[in-house]
Amino acid sequence: MTIQTTTTIGEDLIGALRAGLGEGSVLTSAEDIGGYLVESRGLYKGEALAVVRPRDRDEVALVVKECGRAGVPIVPQGGNTGLVGGGVPHGGIVLSLDRLQRIREVDPVNATITVEAGCILKSVHEAADQVGYAFPLSLPSEGSCRIGGNLATNAGGTAVLRYGNMRELTLGLEVVLADGRIWNGLKGLRKDNTGYDLRDLFIGSEGTLGIITAAVLKLYPKPQARGTAFIGCTSPGQALKLFERLREGAGDQLTAFEYMTDFGLEIVLKHRPAAQRPLSGRHHSYALIELSSPQKDADLQGRLETILGSALEEGLIDDAVISASGAQSQALWSLREDLSEVQRLEGGSIKHDVAVPVSRVAEFIEAASKACEAEMPGIRVCAFGHFGDGNIHFNLSQPVGMDKAAHLAEWERFNRIVHDIVHDMNGSISAEHGIGLIKRDELPHYKDPVALDLMRSLKKTLDPQNILNPGKVVAIGESWPTGFSAIAGHP
């Protein structure tokens, strides 16, 4: 199949969709659809015949059937906050899930919540909170990202160390298939061995195998005690040793172990006047540590004092601060959270979202930093992120004074350097963001060819017409579109 964008097909389809869903659910004016066409960071601008906004699962099925009949591609979209261009349309229609916002059921005894794909993550947090539970997925975009997108990308975030990715937080799904049939897999079961695991096939498939319309998610007892600390040390290797100590000494209470470097902390302090230096001196590496417990009486500050105290005595770390209040904890967390944003203020940034085995994360940071600094004098490595998961956002800020576009033009070259090191360590070139468009041509360099072939077979089996988000994740024949507009010079 080639992508159909001819006017006649488009008009027939739009007529059919309007007849089925009503005028107001099918947007076509440039003004109405503009926001759906642009990738959140402005890296891509796509085009679409229309944006369709069904109200429920059955309307989603209707849209998929009509598009199948017309042979027109569908790009599902949630909050459009993805970081790999997975929601960018290239002709066809955008199917927005944003009106599927019902929380269908909360079952506190089963510790589950059943939500529709269009629910904003924060509203799920709030619904869980109301029954005394927590839904632990925690992302910078939680005020605007939607559950369907979290599922489609198997979202990660800062609580994976303790609770796992979106995959581990999900028990059941409801999915509209490429032929418009609905799979009702909305079971809230902890155990179900009745055949193949369909759920995990759709989670993380970025809308290319089916359109997730609802999910049963796990809830957890709400943390009643927290302890937060910020430490400075001389190398990522020292940070890794400290991580081991904490895992051993705090076990399940260790909820986050986030890493940043001197460069990262300094740019936060530079661009955020309200931010305060957490330790008196400067250090090569920092870690933000959080312990939490559902038990009010858990003495987490005491535990941090013990573990960090002995690490200080032995010279494993150089300095540490343990927060004495919720406000102080929040201030420490802001240093980490603001880092994602302030990089933009330092010019162009070539970004990588990689993972290696935790045992090699320090080695990776050192080797990749060295290689990039040798490749381009003055380049500023901003390595940070979910150290305890082996997941590093290995970003490269442009040398001071360099032209931004010229820096971003080097993206491919640095991909090869960084991803080769990752690959040599049996790592992953996409830890938590997915493949989408941005890594679709990078994937075949590193993915096991047998795995890629299996992926193509699965795509062909589940979407034989190739109408579900074609051109994303994995190439199928000639439908692999090229020529997406790259707004910001890359990719």
Hey, which residues between 36 and 95 contact its own copies (CB under 8 A)? Answer: none
For residue 223, the minimal CB distance to its own copies (Å) is: 9
Query: Can you read off the two tokens belonging to residue 427?
Result: 């790592």
Site membership for its own copies, residue 129 (CB under 8 A): no
Site membership for its own copies, residue 240 (CB under 8 A): yes
Measured from the CB atom, the residue of 39 and 98 that comes closer to its own copies is 39
Q: With CB under 8 A, what is the number of residues at the site for its own copies? A: 90
Site membership for its own copies, residue 181 (CB under 8 A): yes
**What whole-number distance in Å separates Cα of residue 261 and Cα of residue 202?**
36
Choose the binding region for its own copies from 119-127, 279-287, 365-373, 382-390 (rule: CB under 8 A): 382-390
> Binding to its own copies (CB under 8 A): which residues in 417-446?
426-435, 439, 443, 446
* Single residue of 24, 30, 109, 483 touching its own copies by CB under 8 A: 109
Closest by CA position to 230, among listed 285, 272, 297: 285
For residue 386, the minimal CB distance to its own copies (Å) is: 7
Site membership for its own copies, residue 480 (CB under 8 A): no
* Single residue of 2, 42, 359, 424 touching its own copies by CB under 8 A: 359
* Single residue of 48, 111, 115, 317 touching its own copies by CB under 8 A: 111
For residue 167, the minimal CB distance to its own copies (Å) is: 7
Choose the binding region for its own copies from 120-128, 290-298, 312-320, 330-338 (rule: CB under 8 A): 290-298
Site membership for its own copies, residue 194 (CB under 8 A): yes
Closest by CA position to 103, among listed 61, 135, 141: 135
Reduced to 3 states (helix: H, G, I; strand: E, B; else coil), residue 224 is coil
- Separation in Å, CA 6 to CA 19, 26, 37, 92, 476: 20, 18, 19, 10, 21
Site membership for its own copies, residue 131 (CB under 8 A): no
For residue 184, the minimal CB distance to its own copies (Å) is: 5
Spatial neighbors of 255 by CB under 8 A, at least 6 apart, are 159, 161, 162, 223, 290, 291, 292
- Separation in Å, CA 404 to CA 158, 344, 346, 411, 490: 30, 11, 10, 12, 11
- Separation in Å, CA 435 to CA 153, 399, 432, 441: 9, 27, 9, 9
Q: Are 212 and 174 in contact (CB under 8 A)?
A: yes
Spatial neighbors of 434 by CB under 8 A, at least 6 apart, are 82, 83, 84, 86, 152, 153, 154, 204, 206, 473
Choose the binding region for its own copies from 45-53, 54-62, 191-199, 274-282 (rule: CB under 8 A): 191-199
Neighbouring C-beta atoms of residue 392, cutoff 10 Å: 26
Site membership for its own copies, residue 196 (CB under 8 A): yes
For residue 264, the minimal CB distance to its own copies (Å) is: 20
Choose the binding region for its own copies from 9-17, 241-249, 280-288, 405-413 (rule: CB under 8 A): 241-249
Q: Are 168 and 151 in contact (CB under 8 A)?
A: no
Site membership for its own copies, residue 329 (CB under 8 A): no
Site membership for its own copies, residue 391 (CB under 8 A): yes
Q: What are phi and psi of 456, to 5 degrees?
A: -65, -40
Measured from the CB atom, the residue of 4 and 293 that comes closer to its own copies is 293
Sheet of 170-176, strands arranged across: 103-107, 112-116, 211-218, 170-176, 182-185
Measured from the CB atom, the residue of 47 and 299 that comes closer to its own copies is 299
For residue 357, the minimal CB distance to its own copies (Å) is: 4
Site membership for its own copies, residue 372 (CB under 8 A): no
**What whole-number distance in Å separates Cα of residue 445 and Cα of residue 225?**
45
> Binding to its own copies (CB under 8 A): which residues in 452-471?
452, 454-455, 457-462
Measured from the CB atom, the residue of 80 and 255 that comes closer to its own copies is 255
For residue 195, the minimal CB distance to its own copies (Å) is: 5
For residue 160, the minimal CB distance to its own copies (Å) is: 7
Query: Can you read off the two tokens belonging to residue 232?
Result: 């400075």
Measured from the CB atom, the residue of 458 and 486 that comes closer to its own copies is 458
Site membership for its own copies, residue 401 (CB under 8 A): no
User: DSSP label at 413?
Assistant: H
* Single residue of 18, 167, 272, 404 touching its own copies by CB under 8 A: 167
**What whole-number distance in Å separates Cα of residue 86 and Cα of residue 472?**
6
